């Protein structure tokens, strides 16, 4: 996998690809279909297959004070795109200068002169340029005039339904405490990736030590307790149970993910942990003291083991 940032002064090896173009937040099954078409077109044109994504997400530029909404970070997005067949990922820096470009300027400056694309595939609802003036069909016309082969992918519907798969649908499922539905739309469980930091170590005193991970710009799923699977830096995957939220029993304020890994006792401070939310067990609640909390954690752990077959 080759990853590039920006569209200026790229090496020759970074140019000439066929890319799937878009935000691809979550790289859900609809996005995967776009990438799949890019991979197919790349084979036809004997070119590298890749993706060109915007970073940061345009919403963060246009509405900097908007609540957290991301479904994955850049590293997760690269891994997910690679799993769909991308060999190259271009991160196009999204800023006010890029947002003010006309559709024609964007195609000429970024896609043609900058990335030197051989082909591009995007979804039918793709918009670009100042004021979102350009449509996918405008992209096809502008790219075609510059010798860039262009395809428009149709929307993908969820199984048994007519509603298209979208990042908004994934967010809705997570906010409703339905990680299984989110996983169906994504093609994999939703996962929070981050460095483990030192907490108040109250879980250790209760007999259930936890790894604490900040939520950053991730969308806030329904607060509560989840059955989880976590991937460690060494690639091992461990079952567990986690609380996502503010910890009302201990008057917590900051929002965080606290993961208890089953049958595990190593120090994880400073390491990166990627935790999948597999199943929602219960909503976050306040208990009358630590003894009641400890008893509930034990019950939650037993339920998580049952759900995970652990």
Per-residue pLDDT of 33-88, as tens digits, reads 999 999 999 999 999 999 999 999 999 999 999 999 999 999 999 999 999 999 99
For the ranges 50-64, 148-162, 288-302, the lowest mean pLDDT is seen at 148-162
Decide if 63 contacts 100 (C-beta within 8 A): no
Q: Round to whole Å and give the CA distance between 129 and 58.
A: 12
Q: What is the mean pLDDT of residues 278-303?
A: 91
Mean pLDDT value across the chain: 92
Confidence of residue 214 (pLDDT cuts 50, 70, 90): very high
pLDDT single digits (tens) 232-279? 989 999 999 999 998 777 667 789 999 999 999 888 988 999 999 999
User: CA-based Rg of the chain, rounded to a whole angstrom?
Assistant: 22
Integer CA distances (angstroms), 184 to 17, 25, 73, 209, 244, in order = 30, 15, 20, 31, 21
pLDDT surpassing 60 at residue 97: yes
Higher-pLDDT residue of 103, 160? 103
CB within 8 Å of 194: residues ≥ 6 apart: 213, 214, 215, 216, 257, 272, 273
| Domains and their CATH numbers in the chain | 2-153 (3.40.50.620), 179-308 (2.40.30.30)
Residue 164 has a pLDDT of 80
Pick the closest to residue 24 from 95, 67, 62, 77 (CA basis).
77
pLDDT band at 107 (very low <50, low <70, confident <90, very high): very high
- pLDDT value at position 178? 97
Residue 158 pLDDT level (bands cut at 50, 70, 90)? low
C-beta neighbour count of 134 within 10 angstroms: 21
């Amino acid at each position: 996998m080759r990853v590039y940032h920006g569209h200026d002064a790229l090496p020759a090896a970074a140019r000439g690809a066929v890319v799937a173009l878009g935000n691809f937040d979550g790289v859900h099954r609809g996005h995967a279909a776009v990438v799949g078409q890019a991979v197919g077109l790349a084979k036809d044109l004997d070119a590298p297959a890749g993706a060109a994504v915007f970073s940061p997400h345009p919403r963060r530029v246009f509405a900097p004070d908007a609540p957290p909404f991301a479904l994955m970070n850049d590293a997760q997005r690269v891994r997910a795109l690679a799993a769909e067949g991308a060999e190259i990922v271009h991160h196009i820096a999204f800023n006010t200068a890029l947002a003010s470009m006309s559709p024609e300027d964007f195609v000429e400056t970024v896609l043609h002169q900058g990335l030197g694309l051989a082909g591009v595939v995007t979804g039918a609802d793709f918009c670009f340029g100042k004021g979102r003036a350009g449509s996918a069909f405008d992209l096809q016309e502008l790219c075609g005039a510059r010798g860039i082969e262009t395809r428009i992918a149709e929307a993908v519907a969820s199984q048994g339904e007519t509603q298209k798969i979208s990042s908004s649908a994934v967010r809705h499922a997570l906010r409703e405490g339905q990680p299984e539905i989110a996983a169906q739309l994504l093609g994999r469980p939703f996962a929070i990736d981050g460095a483990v930091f030192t907490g108040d170590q109250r879980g250790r005193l209760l007999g259930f030590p936890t790894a604490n991970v900040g939520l950053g710009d991730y969308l806030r799923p329904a607060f509560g307790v989840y059955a989880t699977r976590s991937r460690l830096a060494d690639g091992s995957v461990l079952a567990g149970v986690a609380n996502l939220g503010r910890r009302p029993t201990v008057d917590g304020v900051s929002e965080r993910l606290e993961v208890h890994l089953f049958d595990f006792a190593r120090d994880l401070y400073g390491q990166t942990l990627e935790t999948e939310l597999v199943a929602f067990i219960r909503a976050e609640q306040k208990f009358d003291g630590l003894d009641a909390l400890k008893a509930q954690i034990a019950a939650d752990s037993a339920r998580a083991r049952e759900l995970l077959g652990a």
